[in-house]
Amino acid sequence: MTSGRQRKIDELAELYKRHPDFRDFYVEGLRDREFFRWFFETADIHHVNVYDVGAIDVPPECSREHCQPNNNRGRIAALAKTLEILSGPGTTQATCIIDKDFDSILQIVHEPNILCCTDYACLEMYFVNEKCLDKFCKLFLNTSALTGINILTMLVPILQALFIIRFVNETLDLSLNYMSFERCCAFHPPQITFNECEYIERYLSKNGRLDQKDVFIKMVEESTIKLEREYRNQIHGHDFVNLIAWFLLKNGVERKLCDPGVVERGLIACIEYDSLLAYPLFSYLTKRSIVN
């Protein structure tokens, strides 16, 4: 694909008609792009290309036409649906990957085709497990004082609460700007407490929507009941990274290692290729890469 120029979707469709052997993968962002490039390279699959959404011109009207929000996830979904129309649902030249996001709580199931989604709420959830977090603590943080199970036990309930708050914001279409959670968290070793009611009030007040407080809290309560046993379907990636960074700082870890960007890179580096092969998404992507 030509560097520095966004391709139009109809150009892609024409390109794929002429090149049935192409295998292109489209993802939401730059970090996702590098992650999936690493996966294919490690799998010794070198004939594929991975692009972030910025490489393709997906205009807002295209997202609206397919009832998708005008954000990276919506643009990738709209790209997949448009290519399905132009090239047919059986095309194998393009595969579009999105985060599952709120689909589990909404009980939306995607049958993988041109469009497929992560096995959990977001890409970060592939490193939210005991084994990966143990490796992170021992090799990246150089400590045995923290363990994966310890981190998960303390952080998951707070992360699920933040996920539900994000879900309610989107469901009510309030378009509230994100607010950090630190002022509503307290660390009393070995426990963390999160004042959810205070957070919601501050969140609504910051955005000038305190008039929605009763409706918001009622929907939070109703949505919390729907939480399932698989917590990785109910955690937002940025919340996880920010909360674990805050938690590490409170535990006396060197400040330079507690930057959220540094934490995220450390966690991603702890993912093992072999462990990914057990997940349906990566098995599917491997099959999609095959040129018959």
Per-residue pLDDT tens digits for 215-255:
999 999 999 998 999 999 999 999 999 999 999 999 999 99
User: pLDDT at position 190, please?
Assistant: 81
Distance (Å, rounded) from C-alpha 196 to C-alpha 134?
28
Phi-psi region of 107 (alpha: psi -120 to 50; beta: other; left: phi over 0): left
C-alpha count within 13 angstroms, C-beta hemisphere, residue 108: 13
Per-residue pLDDT tens digits for 112-160:
899 999 999 999 999 999 999 999 999 999 999 999 999 999 999 999 9
The band of 1, judged by pLDDT with boundaries at 50, 70 and 90, is: low
The band of 164, judged by pLDDT with boundaries at 50, 70 and 90, is: very high
Q: Could you give the angle at which helices 72-87 and 9-18 cross, rounded to 10 degrees?
A: 50
DSSP state of 226: T
How large is the average pLDDT for residues 160-171?
Answer: 97
Which tokens sit at 209?
């929507």
How large is the average pLDDT for residues 13-42?
Answer: 97
The band of 3, judged by pLDDT with boundaries at 50, 70 and 90, is: low
Q: How far is CA 245 from CA 47, 79, 142, 267, 276, in A?
A: 37, 34, 15, 11, 24
Q: How far is CA 175 from CA 69, 168, 188, 203, 209, in A?
A: 12, 10, 33, 12, 10
76 and 6 Cβ atoms separated by less than 8 Å = no
User: pLDDT at position 77, please?
Assistant: 97
Distance (Å, rounded) from C-alpha 203 to C-alpha 195?
12
> What mean pLDDT is reported for the chain?
95
How large is the average pLDDT for residues 5-14?
Answer: 94
44 and 92 Cβ atoms separated by less than 8 Å = no
Q: How far is CA 209 from CA 9, 30, 168, 213, 220, in A?
A: 39, 33, 13, 7, 15
Q: Tell me what percent of the residues of the chain surpass a pLDDT of 70.
A: 99
Which tokens sit at 140?
């990246």
User: pLDDT at position 85, please?
Assistant: 95
Per-residue pLDDT tens digits for 50-82:
999 999 999 999 999 999 999 999 999 999 999
